[in-house]
């Protein structure tokens, strides 16, 4: 590590330390001096909500049920004024939870929530109910009415035969008649009164009670009415739990508590009731009410819940988190009933951020970014109220390491030196070009299955060294593992690849490495952290594509068109095109069309005049569809003129540079064949005529015994007996069907291969001799590190009929001319 790098690291660490210390100082003094308070208002009233901080905020915003209110609703700093609507359908939009949001730059702090409700009472819904019950003197009976919807809760009024009673309703809307007599017989009705508006509504409940004389025989204990079995009591208040039984003789009551004892100093037992004074947390639990007489017993199970305000077992603090890493936080709260947890990040619901997952008390940030810096708040709420705690998040920026764009390295993995050894032929050597190496872009990652992904990338435009091939590399995120390199070499025209055998549930990073024509390599930037989720949110496509046509698009490409016959219920994110040449009995190659709406794709970099077998799959993040039916297509025919006009370029052959001439129609193809046939017939006729004439002349010459082969060689007719085209001899396997085959390339070392430590000094690229005026049909051996030397060798071995170093011998006397 250089001195500048050490200084940069030290500066970043010191800056983070100062930020954390400063954050603690700011955090310790940041609080709400006044929270908005819950309120109830009548229709047409004005409501004012106020909040204030002990420091000055940049601005104040208000939210209703988590959604921001228009700025015009805020009258001044920290004050919100509301005009309550008159109609129910209008004021219902104004009720709910209000919060004051104080903004400090990009950070924000939210106040405790305040509930705004509108005072009203609703008429009962449903038909009247009439109940008839019979009991006897000395027993007990529970009279109950159903309370209506009311804000605040309505007061229940009881009437007997039209006369109002003094009994007060319990929290469930009823009261207990004890030791009843015949005077308690009659019709019971109810009404409900809103205690703020004094509006009273009549309820639909009616009870006809008949109290008779005690029975003359024994009656076993039994429940008289269905009284409540669940009770809630606020801490410090009194609670009465009822257990009305009938029977004769009157049942004897016995109260017990499961797993505990009754607080005898705070309980009062009455026939059919248990009263607990000044409820404590230890009173919560399950109680058993048992009634017995001579004929048997009956029991009733009652549960008591003691309401306690929530408490959060987490202190406010400041946390420093690393950019690009993961962050987990747990907010543990106690209280009864169990509190609900809500997370806010800078005043907004945390779950609105796609990179944040919330599971009740647990929050996870999968990939920390700078925007996650600020104030993280945890709110815990139940019937007794709401509490919150906050954490100041400082995001430590990641250091810019050299591995974001790797330094240029030679094939031994060592950094290149500024100097470069040059040979005498470096003038025209393309492998030693001064053009820079432009790395591939950061790959885009798309889930294909629980253990595979698709990568797509590009190469930025600009003057750069030619790329020989790509390789895909990946590593587990947040680990010290080395980068794993895929074995397959991807051609320079490839811009997508599939990575398999990944671990479900793990997080990965990916990058693309490029090897250039100078045998150097460079890594592109790393992708964002990608989590291999086990359970996809969608299902893989069921319908498979139907290929409509496969047509030639020049000599090196095919245009494939398809369709999906019916509207798919599963989303389609793209298509795989699998193709294989009929002349190769190998596996299918795969190309990716990453557009679920496209219905055609141009498949390039194919051989001319070759037949290909093609099939298609649709895919999304859940998987792939079945294969389509197979269809064949043939690329265009490459004419002889196009072959001869294409010069051999070893570098282009290595890079598989696309060569796509204009497509040739079938009519022009037949015309060329006709011209070639007529030319051949005319040539044969001339040869026959010339041979006949020379034969006659030969009989009259004194050189009749001269070797005809040497004579022909003397006049430049080389390679007698072999085909001659454009003045050069061709190997019979080099040109076939009027097109050229690509040179066979063999690379014995790979600068990205983990197992390869050094290049061999004699690594070569073998290029078969083609239409290049080589008199020797043997394959030339070209060194990869010195192209000019190869060109000199080629010049030394090449020759043509018109470039012989020796002059042709003079025409013999009396030779035919």
What percent of the chain shows pLDDT beyond 70?
69
| Average pLDDT estimate for 298-318 | 89
CB atoms within 10 A of CB 715: 11
Identify whether residues 21 and 54 lie together within a single domain: no
Q: Are residues 15 and 41 in the same domain?
A: no
Is 774 in the same domain as 688? yes
Strands of 35-111, DSSP E? 39-41, 46-50, 52-53, 59-64, 67-68, 79-83, 96-104, 107-110
The more confidently predicted of residues 126 and 28 is 126
Q: Say how many domains are in the chain.
A: 6
Residue 746 lies in a domain: yes
Whether residue 768 sits in one domain with residue 692: yes
Q: What is the CATH number of the domain that holds 389?
A: 2.60.40.10
Chain Cα centroid distance, residue 695: 85
Whether residue 127 is found in the same domain as residue 245: no
By residue range, what is the domain housing residue 555? Answer: 546-636
- Examine residue 795 and say whether the peptide bond preceding it is cis (omega within 30 degrees of 0): no
Torsion angle (degrees, nearest 10) of CA 650, 654, 657, 660: 70
Which of residues 754 and 188 earns the better pLDDT score?
188
Decide if 411 is inside a domain.
Answer: no
Residues 164 and 194 in one domain: yes
Residue 713 in domain? yes
pLDDT surpassing 90 at residue 327: yes
Q: What is the mean pLDDT of residues 722-726?
A: 37
Cβ neighbourhood burial of 39 (10 Å; 0-12, 13-18, 19+)? middle
Q: What percent of the chain has pLDDT over 90?
A: 30
3-state secondary structure of 317: strand
Examine the domain organization and report whether 336 and 250 are in the same domain: no
**What mean pLDDT, rounded, does the chain reach?**
74
Interatomic CA distance for residues 496 and 312, integer angstroms = 50
Residue 681 placed within a domain: yes
The band of 697, judged by pLDDT with boundaries at 50, 70 and 90, is: low
For residue 637, is pLDDT > 90? no
Residue written as token pair 């041979």: 691
* 683 and 785 fall within a common domain: yes
Q: Would 608 be classed as within a structural domain?
A: yes
Same domain, 746 and 784: yes
464 part of a folded domain = no
Q: What is the pLDDT of residues 28-83, one digit of tens each?
A: 468 899 999 999 999 999 999 999 988 888 889 999 998 888 764 554 578 898 89
pTM score: 0.48
User: So what's the pLDDT on residue 701?
Assistant: 45
Quick one: DSSP state of residue 396? Answer: E
Residue 557, beta-bridge partner list: none
pLDDT, position 760 = 38
Q: Could you tell me if 359 and 265 lie in one domain?
A: no
Quick one: 556 and 597 in the same domain? yes
Same domain, 95 and 140: no
- Cα 423 to the center of its chain, rounded Å: 52
Task: Give the per-residue pLDDT at 519.
Answer: 81
Whose CA is closest to 23, among 83, 105, 85, 95?
Answer: 105
What are 55's two structure tokens?
A: 């420091």
């Amino acid at each position: 590590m250089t001195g500048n790098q050490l200084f940069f690291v030290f500066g970043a660490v010191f800056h983070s330390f100062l930020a954390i210390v400063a954050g603690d100082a700011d955090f310790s003094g940041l609080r709400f001096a006044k929270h908005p308070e819950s309120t109830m208002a009548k229709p047409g009233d004005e409501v004012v909500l106020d909040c204030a901080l002990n420091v000055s905020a940049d601005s104040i915003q208000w939210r209703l049920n988590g959604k921001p209110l228009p700025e015009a609703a805020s009258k001044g700093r920290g004050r919100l004024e509301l005009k309550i609507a008159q109609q129910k359908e209008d004021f219902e939009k104004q009720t709910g939870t209000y919060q004051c949001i104080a903004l400090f730059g990009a950070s924000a702090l939210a106040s405790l929530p305040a509930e705004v409700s509108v005072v009203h009472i609703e008429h009962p819904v449903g038909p009247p109910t009439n109940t008839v019950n019979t009991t006897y003197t000395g027993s007990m009976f529970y009279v109950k009415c159903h309370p209506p919807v009311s804000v605040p809760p309505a007061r229940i009024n009881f009437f007997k035969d039209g006369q109002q009673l003094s009994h007060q309703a319990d929290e469930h809307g009823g009261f207990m008649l004890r030791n009843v007599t015949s005077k308690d017989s009659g019709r019971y009705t109810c009404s409900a009164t809103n205690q703020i508006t004094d509006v009273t509504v009549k309820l639909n409940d009616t009870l006809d009670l008949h109290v008779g004389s005690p029975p003359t025989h024994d009656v076993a204990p039994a429940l008289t009415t269905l009284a409540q079995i669940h009770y809630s009591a606020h801490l410090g208040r009194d609670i009465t739990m009822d257990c009305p039984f009938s029977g004769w003789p009157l049942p004897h009551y016995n109260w017990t508590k499961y797993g505990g004892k009754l607080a005898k100093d705070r309980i009062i037992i009455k026939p059919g009731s248990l009263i607990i004074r000044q409820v404590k947390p230890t009173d919560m639990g399950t109680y058993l009410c048992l009634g017995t007489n001579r004929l048997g017993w009956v029991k009733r199970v009652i549960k008591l819940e003691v309401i306690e305000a929530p408490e959060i077992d987490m202190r406010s603090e400041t946390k420093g988190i690393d950019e690009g890493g993961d962050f987990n936080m747990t907010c543990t709260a106690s209280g009864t009933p169990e509190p609900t947890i809500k997370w806010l990040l800078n005043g907004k619901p945390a779950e609105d951020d796609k990179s944040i997952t919330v599971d009740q008390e647990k929050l996870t940030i999968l990939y920390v970014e700078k925007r996650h810096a600020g104030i993280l708040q945890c709110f815990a709420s139940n019937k007794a109220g709401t509490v919150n705690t906050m954490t100041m998040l400082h995001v430590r920026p990641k250091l810019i390491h050299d591995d974001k764009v790797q330094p240029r390295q030679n094939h031994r993995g060592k950094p290149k030196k500024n100097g470069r050894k040059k040979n005498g032929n470096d003038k025209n050597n393309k492998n030693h070009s001064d053009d820079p190496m432009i790395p591939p872009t950061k790959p885009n990652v798309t889930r294909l299955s629980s253990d595979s992904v698709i990568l797509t990338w590009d190469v930025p435009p600009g003057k750069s060294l030619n790329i020989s091939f790509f390789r895909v590399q990946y590593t587990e995120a947040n680990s010290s593992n080395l980068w794993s390199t895929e074995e397959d070499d991807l051609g320079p025209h490839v811009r997508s690849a599939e990575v398999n055998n990944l671990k479900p549930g793990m997080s990965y990073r990916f990058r693309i490495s490029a090897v250039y024509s100078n045998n150097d390599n460079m890594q592109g930037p790393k992708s964002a952290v990608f989590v291999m989720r086990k359970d996809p949110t969608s299902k893989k496509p069921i319908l498979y594509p139907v290929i409509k046509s496969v047509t030639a698009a020049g000599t090196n490409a095919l245009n494939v068109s398809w369709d999906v016959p019916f509207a798919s219920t599963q989303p389609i994110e793209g298509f795989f095109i699998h193709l294989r040449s009929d002349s190769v009995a190998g596996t299918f190659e795969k190309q990716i069309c990453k557009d679920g709406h496209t219905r055609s794709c141009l498949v390039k970099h194919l051989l001319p005049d070759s037949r290909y077998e093609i099939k298609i799959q649709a895919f999304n993040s859940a998987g792939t569809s079945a294969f389509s039916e197979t269809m064949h297509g043939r690329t265009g025919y490459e004419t002889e003129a196009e072959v001869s006009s294409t010069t051999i370029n070893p570098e282009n052959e290595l890079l598989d540079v696309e060569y796509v001439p204009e497509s040739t129609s079938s009519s022009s193809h037949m015309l060329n064949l006709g011209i070639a046939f007529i030319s051949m017939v005319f040539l044969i006729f001339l040869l026959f005529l010339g041979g006949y004439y020379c034969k006659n002349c030969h009989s009259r010459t004194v050189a009749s015994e001269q070797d005809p082969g040497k004579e022909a060689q003397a006049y430049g007719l080389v390679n007698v007996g072999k085909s001659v085209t454009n003045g050069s001899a061709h190997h019979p396997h080099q040109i076939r069907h009027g097109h050229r085959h690509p040179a066979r390339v063999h690379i014995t070392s790979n600068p990205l291969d983990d197992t390869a430590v050094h290049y061999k000094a004699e690594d070569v690229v073998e290029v078969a001799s083609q239409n290049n005026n080589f008199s020797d049909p043997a394959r030339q051996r070209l060194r990869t590190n010195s192209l000019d030397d190869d060109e000199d060798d080629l010049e030394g071995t090449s020759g043509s009929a018109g470039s012989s170093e020796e002059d042709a011998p003079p025409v013999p006397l009396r030779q035919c001319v």
